[in-house]
Structure 1
Amino acid sequence: MKQHIIVHGTVQGVGFRHFVQTEAEKHGVNGWVRNKSDGTVEVKAESDEQTMGGFLDSVAGGNNFSKVDHLDIEATDSVEHNGYFSVKY
């Protein structure tokens, strides 16, 4: 399962990308995360369906410093990764 996710809310300047990377590694999800110029955070992730569900629940919950308003999630054809999850700058 390959997903393209846009995270809306207070998600920049609060350690959110590192949080997403940690959650991805915890769940065994490959892909990447980066900040966008509009204040959202973009994620591309790949895993099996059950794993993806747990990962998305974690992302939607955010960390102690963020406030996630909502996620825009859509299927994607490709997720660039080398067998791990990274933060893009």
Structure 2
Amino acid sequence: MIRYSITVSGRVQGVGFRYFVQLTACRLNLTGWCKNLMDGNVQIEVQGIEKDINSFISAIKVGNNFSRVDDINLSSLPLIPDEKKFKIKY
């Protein structure tokens, strides 16, 4: 199990990107959260099996039909053992 903090920049607010992120994470049985940042980026924390997180990152790079991902920054985080689901924070 691994956990990453991911910051996504581009056209990722107001285009259903967080919902897309949540659906993708749930489909891959990943836990964590995502939220909009004041600077127009989206912050994601995601946790799960490495191969599933790699699939998640690949999907996020493509985005949905309305978003445009320009850049993704990753950093490792400590695991949160009791986390049960992936949610959108407001």
Normalising TM by the smaller chain, what interval?
Answer: over 0.9
Q: Which amino acid aligns with 2:13?
A: Q
1:37 correspondence with 2:38: yes
Unaligned runs of 5+ in 2: none
Identity of aligned residues (%): 36
Q: Are 2:16 and 1:15 equivalent residues in the alignment?
A: yes
Residue 82 of structure 1 deviates from its aligned partner by: 3.4
Tell me which stretches of 4 or more aligned residues in structure 1 moved more than 4 Å.
Answer: 78-81
Q: Which runs of 5+ in 1 are unaligned?
A: none
Q: RMSD across aligned C-alpha pairs, in angstroms?
A: 1.4
Shift of 1:70: 1.2
SS at match of 1:28: coil
* TM-score normalised according to structure 1 size: 0.94
The alignment covers a number of residue pairs equal to: 89
Counterpart check, 1:56 vs 2:20: no
Q: How high is the TM-score relative to the length of structure 2? A: 0.93
